[in-house]
Structure 1
Amino acid sequence: MPKTKFQEFIYGVLMTFFMVIAMELYNAGVRSGTLTYSAFPSAFLEMRFMFPICFVMGFFFIDRLAPKIAFKMAVPGKDNPVLVTTVRACVTVVFMCPIMSFWATMIFKQPGINFLPIWLQTIACNFPMALCWQLFFCGPLVRFLFRHIFPSTAKSKAPARAGL
């Protein structure tokens, strides 16, 4: 996937955009009891806060920590690439969901003295959506877009076979 800092930046922007917009729409639907088109303006307004926070937390902190943890569980080059990608995505969500739920609780929920239970409830509500969205939709979509923006990253050099 990304091979340069610029490519890491673009990948991070894409991943952040699609994760944040989906989670903002999801939370708008949870708040109102149903997801309608009226949720889109508020979701895009909330992105003003959540996108920069998510990008900074992910790009500068979690994207450095998650691979170290994930690659102890699934080793690139040794384990199945699908397993490696899945474990990496799961570890990222395990860290990003509580972090972003913390910020959402602080910014949107005015928790006061009940911060801890409201934050834990926010995590519990958001985690299943964040994990499923990341594994089944956002991750594959962003990797697809990234391969089309940077086609040279999709080509891997196959080892030469002896005797040919």
Structure 2
Amino acid sequence: MPKTKLQDVIFTIMMVIVMVYAMVVYNISIDKGGVTNEVFVLALGELLLMGIVGFVLEMLIAGPLAKKLAFRIVSPREDKMIFVILAISSMTVCLMCPLMSFVATALFKGFQEQFVANWIQTTVMNFPMALCWQIFFAGPLVRLIFGKMFPEKRTV
């Protein structure tokens, strides 16, 4: 886990790239009626904009708030680290999914008469994918790579 502000920024960039790319692939696949090779290329085109939005939202809103909410449930000093990680990850998805779905709805469907309904539908469809992707794939992968980049010093 990140120990410095620089490490936090690097960790967030890595997580945003993995999460945003997967979620963009997922949403394009829904729109196109399935996964094709083209979907992966199209998702790369949206990654920069949605990645920047995701990074800003995570650093300024979701990250700090997710930790506050998670620490109401778990204590980093008392609970096993896996429970702390799961609490923070879950709270992050609970915050980021509606925020990113709002942005995606605004950008790709526009502000129209059915905007709120489209936003709610997008959020509901994205949430299970975002939670499962975060808990089972993105989180472990990013923590593994991050751990190799910034190994913790062990005290004897």
| Identical columns (%) | 42
1:12-161 to 2 correspondences below 5 Å: 12-151=12-151, 153=152, 155-157=153-155
Cα RMSD, aligned residues only = 1.1
Q: Which amino acid aligns with 2:4?
A: T
Amino acid aligned to 2:128: P
| Equivalent-residue separation in structure 1 for 2:111 and 2:42 (angstroms) | 20
Question: Structure 1 residue 83: deviation in Å?
Answer: 1.2
Please give the alpha-carbon distance, in whole angstroms, between the structure 2 residues aligned to 1:121 and 1:48: 24
Instruction: Provide Cα deviations, 1:87-119, integer angstroms capped at 9, x if missing partner.
Output: 110000000000000000000112401111000
Higher alpha-carbon Rg:
1
Q: Which runs of 5+ in 2 are unaligned?
A: none
- Give 3-state SS (helix, strand or coil) of 2:13's partner: helix
Q: Which moved more, 1:90-99 or 1:75-84?
A: 75-84
Amino acid corresponding to residue 79 of structure 1 in structure 2: D
Instruction: Tell me the distance in 2 between the aligned counterparts of 1:80 and 1:58.
Output: 24
Q: Which amino acid aligns with 1:148?
A: K
List structure 1 runs of 4+ shifted beyond 3 angstroms: 155-158
The structural deviation recorded for 1:9 is 0.8
- Quickly say closer, same or farther: Cα 1:75–1:156, change in 2 above 3 A: farther
- Cα separation, 2, equivalents of 1:99 and 1:9: 19
CA–CA distance in 2 between the matches of 1:86 and 1:157?
26
